[in-house]
């Protein structure tokens, strides 16, 4: 399965707004400069690597949801909290301004890649 950088960027933005209210606070929680968060991850140019994924897990982000849009955004066992989070994310998603992905990012996402084994020989 190929990850959609644009969808991951949107999910990252949704998680940040829902959990922290602002992207500045979200960047601070990730120990990251806000401009790095914006230019690298929120615009769809880069996918989060292992270090960032671990930080997101520690902040309560469901990584399966972040990368695939499956399940729920937050790691929780409380069904009512999960239901409320999903409804809140749907409302938030509809109210967020749309940001475009650079043409370079679109070109990179369209390139064909070899298998994992071929890339790591």
What does the domain layout of the chain look like in residue ranges?
Answer: 5-119
Distance CA 26, CA 30 (A): 6
For a pLDDT cut of 70, what percent of the chain falls above it? Answer: 61
pTM given for the model = 0.60
And the tokens for 69? 């849009």
For residues 81 and 23, the answer to whether their CB atoms sit within 8 Å is no
For residues 117 and 44, the model is more confident at 44
pLDDT digits (tens, 9 = 90+) for 15-30: 999 999 999 999 999 9
17: number of CA atoms within 13 Å, CB side? Answer: 17
Query: pLDDT band at 62, cuts 50/70/90?
Result: very high
Burial of 74 (0-12, 13-18, 19+ CB in 10 A): buried
Query: pLDDT band at 34, cuts 50/70/90?
Result: very high
Q: What pLDDT sits at residue 70?
A: 82
Nearest to 43 by CA among 95, 120, 101, 116: 101
Query: pLDDT band at 93, cuts 50/70/90?
Result: low
């Amino acid at each position: 399965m190929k990850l959609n950088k644009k969808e991951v960027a949107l999910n990252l933005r949704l998680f940040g707004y829902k959990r922290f209210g602002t992207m500045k606070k979200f960047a601070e929680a990730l120990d990251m400069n806000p401009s790095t968060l914006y230019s690298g991850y929120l615009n769809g140019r880069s996918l989060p690597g292992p270090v960032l994924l671990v930080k997101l897990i520690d902040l309560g982000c469901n990584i399966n949801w972040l990368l695939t849009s499956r399940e729920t955004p937050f790691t929780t066992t409380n069904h009512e909290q999960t239901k409320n989070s999903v409804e809140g994310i749907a409302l938030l998603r509809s109210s967020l301004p749309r940001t475009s992905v650079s043409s370079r990012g679109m070109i990179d996402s369209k390139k064909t890649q070899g298998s994992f084994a071929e890339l790591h020989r």
